[in-house]
Amino acid sequence: MGKGSLRSRINVPCSTCHSLSHPFSSPDSRYRLAVDIDVPGFQGVIQAKQVELIADQSQLHGHVWLFTIEVVKVRFADPDGFGHIGFVDGGRRGKGQGWRAGQNKCQTSESRAKLTTLWNPVGRLHLAIHLGESRFPRIITPRVTRAGDRRREFPMEVISADSHVVESEEVFTGLPERFGDDAPRVTNAGTMKDSIVIPSKGPAGIRRRMGFAGLRVKEGEGFDRQKYRKPDVDDISTPENQAILEKGYDGLRAGIRDGAHRHEDQEIDGVKAEFLYPGFFGLFAFDNPELLVACQKNYNDWLHDYAGASNGRLYGLAAIPMQDPEAAVVELDRVIKMGYRGGCIPCTSPHDRPYFDLSYEPVWTLAEEAGFPLSMHVGTNSYVPKEFRTKHYRPDSVFDYGNSPSTIQRTLVELMCRGVCERYPSLKLVVSEFNAGWIAFWLNRIEQGLQRDARFKMGEFTGERPQEVWERQFWATIEDDRPALLTREIIGVKNLMWGSDYPHVDSTWPCSLNVIEEIFEGIPDADRQAITHDNVRELYGLTI
C-alpha cells in the first residue's frame, strides 16, 4: 500500500432525525483528524499529509462533508497489533509546517477500526469512521474525546436538562399599552443596550449578564479552557465586557438570539439537546396576576417558535402562572396542546396560597394525567409583599448563594409532606439548578422532624416517608456537583439529571464535557450515562 489519496463522502447521523447528516458551524475551518483503519490484510500506521474539507451549507439536515486524505507514509505495526492513524493536527498552520501524526496501537482484538475522532477548532464535535474493503470511510458511532489531554473517550450522548434563553423583545409586546409603567419592556438603560426595564421599578439589569457565557468564544477564535472553568470569574465591570454589554442583542451569539443557530453553540460544548428555562426570572414575580398571566402567555408563544426552529435540539419548558390557579389550568392545557413536554412553576408558592391549597388541585390533576413534568427553578420566586419579606440585617451575598436551597426546601415540604404527592402519586416534579448535594442530608432531616419533633408537624403525619416520595416522583438537576454524585445512592441515580446552565454566566459552557469527566471520576459509566442522558430522555419522552 503506497502513496495515494483516499477521498470519501462522510455522512454523519443526525441526532434529530437519525438520517446520515449533521450540521457543523464553520465550513472553512481546518480540523484535527484521527483515523483508525481496517484494510483487509494490512496492519500498520498511515500518516495523513493533507485534509481537504468541503461543506454543503444547507440549513436543513443534509449537511455533507468531504475529506481528501493524502497518504504519505505507511509503517507496519507489530504482528499482533492493528494499524491506527494517530492524531493528525489539522488546525490552521503556517505554510511549510506540514502535518503531524502520532503513532499508537489499536486496542481492539478484532481486525477492524475502533475509532475516528474529528474536532472543530474551538469545540469537541467528533465522528467515528473506519475504512472498509472499498477503502471508503463509514460511520461507526459518534464519540467524544477531550482535545489537549489523554483522558479516556466516552459517548457524545449528553443532554442538558437545564439551559436558558435570553428573551426577545417580542415577549413583552403589547404589555406597556395594557399595564403602563408596571409592564416590562426592552429599552436602553444607561450604557446597557437592550435591557429589560420596568419603569415603576427600574432596570432589571440581568439580560446581558444572563447571556454572558456565550461571549467566551469569539467568532473565529478559541478560548482558554483553564480560565473558563466553573466557578466562573467573568467580571462584567471590565472595560472589555462593558463594551460588549453596550451592544445589546447584537453582542449575543447567533444561537442565543435564534434557535435555528443554537446547534452551533451545542456542538462547541458537545451537547446534543437542551431543555430551556427563562432567563428573565421576573416573569414569575409580578405583583399583578393579570400582567403575570399575559406576560407568561407571550413568553410561551415566543419560546415555542424559538425552540421549534432547532430541528428537535431544543425543548422549551412553558411558564405556568400559578399565582392564578384558574388561569394556570387554562394555560397548562393550552401549552400541552401546543406540544410542550414540560412546564415551569414558581420555586416558591404565592405567599398567601401554599401549594397544598386545594385551589391547585385542577393543575396537579391535569399535569399528572398528561404526564407533564413541572419544574421549579432557582430564582423563579413568587411575588412577596414587603411586609412578609425576611429582613437581612447583615446582607451577605456568599451566604445567600450557599443558602439558595432553602427557598425550595419549604416548597418541597408543601408538596411531599402535606398531601399533594400522596393524592397525585404520578405527578412528576423537577428541582432545577439548586444542585443536589444537600438532598441526601435534607431528606433524612425531614424524616427525623416528622418522626421525632412535634414542632415540625401541622397535625399528625400519616403519609409516606419523604425518601419514598422523592424516589418516586422527584428529579433534581446538577451542573458540577460532585457531592450529589457521591450521595447518588441515597438521592437516586434515576432522580439526577445534568444541565449546563448555558448561557448564564456560571454555566459550564463551553467546557461541559471536561467538567462532566472530572465530576464523574470513579463513577460507573452506567450512572454517568443515566445522569447525563438517559434520565432526562425518559422523563420527557424523547426519542433522540
Q: Over the stretch 311-328, which tens digit does the pLDDT of each residue have?
A: 999 999 999 999 999 999
Q: Which grid cell is 95?
A: 505554510
Give residue 174's pLDDT.
97
So what's the pLDDT on residue 134?
30
pLDDT greater at residue 390 or residue 145 = 390
Q: What is the pLDDT of residue 506?
A: 81
Looking at residue 8, its pLDDT comes to 32
**Per-residue model confidence (pLDDT) at position 197:** 86
Q: Domains in the chain, start-ordered, CATH in brackets?
A: 1-153 (no CATH), 160-540 (3.20.20.140)
pLDDT of 451? 77
What single DSSP character describes residue 373? -
Higher pLDDT, 180 or 106: 180
Residues 272 and 313 sit within 8 Å (Cβ to Cβ): yes
pLDDT at 348: 95
Mean pLDDT, residues 205-226 taken together: 56
Between 165-174, 439-448, 458-467, the lowest mean confidence (pLDDT) is in: 458-467
C-alpha cell at 212: 454572558
CA separation for the pair 401, 247 (Å, rounded)? 29
How far is residue 188's CA from residue 190's CA, in Å, rounded to a whole number? 6
Residues 6+ apart with CB under 8 A from 183: 172, 175, 176, 198, 291, 295
How far is the C-alpha of 62 from the C-alpha of 19, rounded, in Å? 8
Q: Give yes or no for residue 228 having a pLDDT over 80.
A: no
Residues, the chain: 544
Task: Count the Cβ atoms, other than its own, within 10 Å of residue 496.
Answer: 25
pTM of the model: 0.71
User: Per-residue b/e over 352-368, b at no fewer than 16 CB within 10 Å?
Assistant: eebbbeeebebbbeebb
CA dist., res. 126 & res. 268, Å (int): 11
* Pure H helices in 199-357: 207-210, 239-245, 254-257, 262-269, 289-308, 325-338
- Identify the CA nearest to 338 among candidates 299, 375, 364: 299
Selection from 115-119, 243-247, 265-269 with the highest mean pLDDT: 265-269
491: pLDDT strictly greater than 50: yes
Most distant CA pair in the chain, distance: 84
pLDDT of residue 435: 95
Contact 206, 261 (CB under 8 A): no
Position 249 confidence tier, pLDDT thresholds 50, 70, 90: confident
Lookup: cell for 420: 399533594
Please give the Cα distance from 133 to 106 (Å, whole number). 18
pLDDT score, position 227 = 52
Asked if residue 9 lies in contact with residue 53, where contact means CB atoms within 8 angstroms, the answer is no
pLDDT at 297 exceeding the cut of 50:
yes
The least confident of 27-36, 102-111, 238-247 is: 102-111
| pLDDT for the residue 1 | 33
Mean pLDDT across 283-292: 94
DSSP code at position 383: P
Q: And the C-alpha cell for 350?
A: 404565592
Distances (CA, A) of 87 to 97, 100, 103, 171: 16, 7, 8, 47
Between CA 443 and CA 456 the distance in angstroms is: 14
- The mean pLDDT of 113-138, rounded to a whole number, is 29
Question: Which cell goes with 344?
Answer: 415551569
Is the pLDDT at 299 greater than 90, yes or no? yes
**CA 215, CA 162: separation in Å to the nearest integer?**
19
Mapping DSSP to helix (H, G, I), strand (E, B) and coil, where does residue 215 land?
A: helix
Give the pLDDT mean for 508-519: 88
Residue of 173, 266, 168, 158 whose CA lies nearest to 210: 168
Place of cell 439558595: 404
pLDDT score of 233 more than 80: no
pLDDT for position 80: 34
Which band of pLDDT confidence, cut at 50, 70 and 90, is reported for residue 195?
confident
State the Cα–Cα distance between residues 516 and 532, nearest whole angstrom: 8
Distance CA 137, CA 67 (A): 10
Q: How far apart are CA 166 and CA 196, in angstroms?
A: 11
Q: How confident is the prediction for the chain on average, in pLDDT? A: 72
Given its phi and psi angles, is residue 279 left (phi above 0), alpha (psi -120 to 50 degrees) or beta? alpha
Per the CB < 8 A criterion, the answer to whether 544 and 311 are in contact is no
Q: Which residue has the higher pLDDT, 215 or 220?
A: 215
pLDDT tens digits, one per residue of 39-54 = 344 344 333 333 333 3
- pLDDT of 253 reads 87
Q: Which of 58-67, 213-222, 250-259, 416-425 has the lowest mean pLDDT?
A: 58-67
Alpha-helical regions (H) of 78-201: 175-179
3-state secondary structure of 421: helix
Return the closest-CA partner of residue 363 out of 319, 326, 329.
329
Chain centre distance of CA 525: 20
- Joined grid coordinates for residue 428: 412528576
Whether 199 shows a pLDDT value over 60: the answer reads: yes
* Rounded percentage of the chain residues whose pLDDT exceeds 90: 47
Identify whether the C-beta of residue 145 lies closer than 8 Å to the C-beta of residue 157.
no
Report the pLDDT value the prediction gives residue 149, as an integer from 0 to 100. 35
Compute φ and ψ for 353, nearest 5 degrees.
-155, 85
